């Protein structure tokens, strides 16, 4: 499988090295590899094109892994502000190479479930053992591996689990309210309303929104909200993709 490299004259310290795997679903376009920063930091990514109307749906960025976890690694300590610059550079290089995916993006970060009995391993999800085994299969690694975003016109939706211990929703809500943009006061003064899912008409969370910023607290979920509450999570995702109001 051919390895390719993306470079950009504005981001000289960055390059993307990638392959085109066919795992999981060989019918869709895929890119996987690393954002390499100064030759020392290597952030793993795996892109899947949408199965349906890929040129019409938004680009989704699922950002959960820092360096030295998963397939990403570095000799440096990476702070949040540094990581933000790295992600910005990644998006610029990726969309420079693939401008057909230049839609608005989505960032999700959240890990621990305080509702369930926990043995202290794998963030309380025993299913993570299977993920670790799969990720370390040699054929899988061979297939997929090679060695300031701003509140302007881009919609930001924060999906927060109410029982995520490490990324607790109280703390996330505080820093979301501290975001500096022209709608800060209006967002902070907006009421928290009941979020009723469209598919099941279920009261599944509380939502605060103003213009391009939305904060949704989803009930009965730990770090893996999509695993704990697949129905409401999918409902939220479909609403966001269709640019509807929650």
Q: What is the mean pLDDT of residues 199-215?
A: 89
Q: How confident is the model at residue 221 (pLDDT cuts 50, 70, 90)?
A: confident
C-alpha 37/C-alpha 8 separation (Å) is: 13
C-alpha 28/C-alpha 20 separation (Å) is: 10
pLDDT > 60? residue 110? no
Q: What is the pLDDT of residue 5?
A: 92
122 phi and psi angles, rounded to 5 deg:
50, 40
Q: What is the pLDDT of residue 222?
A: 84
196 phi and psi angles, rounded to 5 deg:
-105, 120
Q: Which fold has domain 1-107?
A: Rossmann fold (3.40.50)
What is the per-residue DSSP string for 83-145?
Answer: HHHHHHHHHHHHHHH-GGG-S---------BSSS---SSGGG-TTHHHHHHHHT-HHHHHHH-
Q: What is the pLDDT of residue 57?
A: 78
Residue 47: closest CA among 61, 36, 37:
61
- Chain-centroid distance, C-alpha 142: 24
C-alpha 177/C-alpha 155 separation (Å) is: 16
Residue that the structure tokens 């939706």 belong to: 157
Whole-Å CA distances, 178 to 82, 148, 161, 170, 217: 19, 15, 19, 13, 17
Q: What is the mean pLDDT of residues 154-179?
A: 80
C-alpha 146/C-alpha 32 separation (Å) is: 8
> Out of 95-109, 167-181, 218-232, which region has the weakest mean confidence (pLDDT)?
95-109
Q: How confident is the model at residue 118 (pLDDT cuts 50, 70, 90)?
A: low
Predicted structure pTM score: 0.60
pLDDT > 70? residue 170? yes
Q: Which has the higher per-residue pLDDT, 119 or 210?
A: 210
Q: What is the pLDDT of residue 47?
A: 92
Share of the chain above pLDDT 70, in %: 80
Q: How confident is the model at residue 121 (pLDDT cuts 50, 70, 90)?
A: low
Q: What is the mean pLDDT of residues 147-160?
A: 56
Please, what is the average pLDDT of the chain?
A: 80
The strand pairing partners of 32, in sequence order, are: 19, 46
Q: What is the mean pLDDT of residues 144-165?
A: 61
């Amino acid at each position: 499988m051919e390895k390719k490299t993306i470079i950009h004259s504005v981001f000289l310290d960055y390059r993307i090295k990638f392959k085109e795997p066919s795992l999981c679903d060989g019918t869709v376009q895929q890119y996987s590899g690393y954002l390499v920063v100064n030759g020392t930091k290597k952030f793993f990514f795996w892109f899947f094109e949408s199965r349906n109307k890929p040129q019409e749906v938004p680009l989704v960025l699922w950002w959960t892994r820092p360096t030295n976890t998963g397939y990403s690694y570095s000799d440096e300590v990476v702070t949040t502000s540094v990581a933000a610059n790295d992600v910005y550079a990644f998006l610029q290089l990726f969309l420079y190479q693939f401008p057909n995916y230049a839609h608005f993006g989505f960032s999700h970060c959240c890990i621990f479930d305080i509702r369930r009995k926990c043995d202290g391993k794998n963030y309380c999800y025993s299913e993570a053992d299977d993920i670790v085994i799969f990720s370390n299969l040699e054929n899988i690694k061979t297939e997929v591996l090679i060695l300031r975003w701003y509140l302007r016109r881009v919609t930001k939706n924060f999906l927060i689990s109410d029982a995520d211990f490490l990324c607790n929703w109280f703390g996330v809500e505080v820093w979301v309210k501290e975001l500096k943009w022209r709608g800060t006061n209006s967002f902070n003064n907006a009421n928290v309303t009941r979020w009723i899912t469209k598919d099941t008409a279920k009261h599944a969370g509380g939502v605060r929104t103003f213009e391009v910023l939305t904060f949704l607290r989803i009930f009965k979920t730990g770090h893996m909200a999509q695993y704990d509450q697949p129905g409401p999570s999918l409902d939220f995702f479909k609403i966001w993709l269709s640019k509807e109001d929650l």
